[in-house]
Amino acid sequence: MSFTSAVFLIIFFPICILGCYFMQEKYRNLFLCLASAVFYSWCGFKFLILMLISATIAYVIGRAIEDRKTIQQKRILLAVALLYNLGVLFFYKYLFEIFPDTLNLVTDLLGKEAGTFKTPVLPLGISFYTFSVLSYILDVYWGKCKAQKNIINPKLFTEQYLN
């Protein structure tokens, strides 16, 4: 669904606006989170799951960083978050684009034919939501914000560009 499509302009956008207007304040973030998930899943459900996993990891690690007493424990959690999120970004966005010769060499070493690796489809907005998740985790780590107690808020922060 595109921002300029009839489905978005005539159906989805008015439902979101009216839903936010008539929704009780305590349910608005949940409503927007669900609407964002519907919008994002229009491009592919498997990518929605990838984004939700990233947001969930951000929530869990953010809470864990805030609960830890020693800087060493906080650094380990930060490193886990950085490795996971940047690893996913690297896999989808850079691995098959930058290193095709290396991948062909690996396939040759494994005894497979060159070119057997298929380039995965790039998830919509992967750079944006990866860096959104990392900015949240880094803000918690640096003490610029408190870790969210409600899992909906980090998820909405990750998905916010969709609405």
User: Which tens digit of pLDDT belongs to each residue from 89-138?
Assistant: 998 888 777 766 676 777 777 776 655 556 677 777 888 888 989 999 99
Query: Are residues 103 and 117 in contact, defined by beta-carbon separation less than 8 angstroms?
Result: yes
User: What total number of domains does the chain contain?
Assistant: 1
Report the alpha-carbon distance of residue 39 to residue 52 in Å, rounded.
13
pLDDT tens for 29-56 read 888 888 888 887 777 778 888 888 988 9
Q: Establish if 9 belongs to a structural domain.
A: no
The answer to whether position 38 is within a domain reads no
Residue 90, domain member (yes or no): yes
Domain contains 139:
yes
Distance CA 154, CA 52 (A): 10
Confirm whether 115 is domain-assigned.
Answer: yes
Whether 147 is in a domain gets the answer yes
Query: pTM for the full model?
Result: 0.77
- Is residue 83 situated within a structural domain? yes
- Residue-range definition of the domain harbouring residue 74: 44-162
Residue 153 lies in a domain: yes
- Residue 5 to residue 161: CA distance in whole angstroms: 17
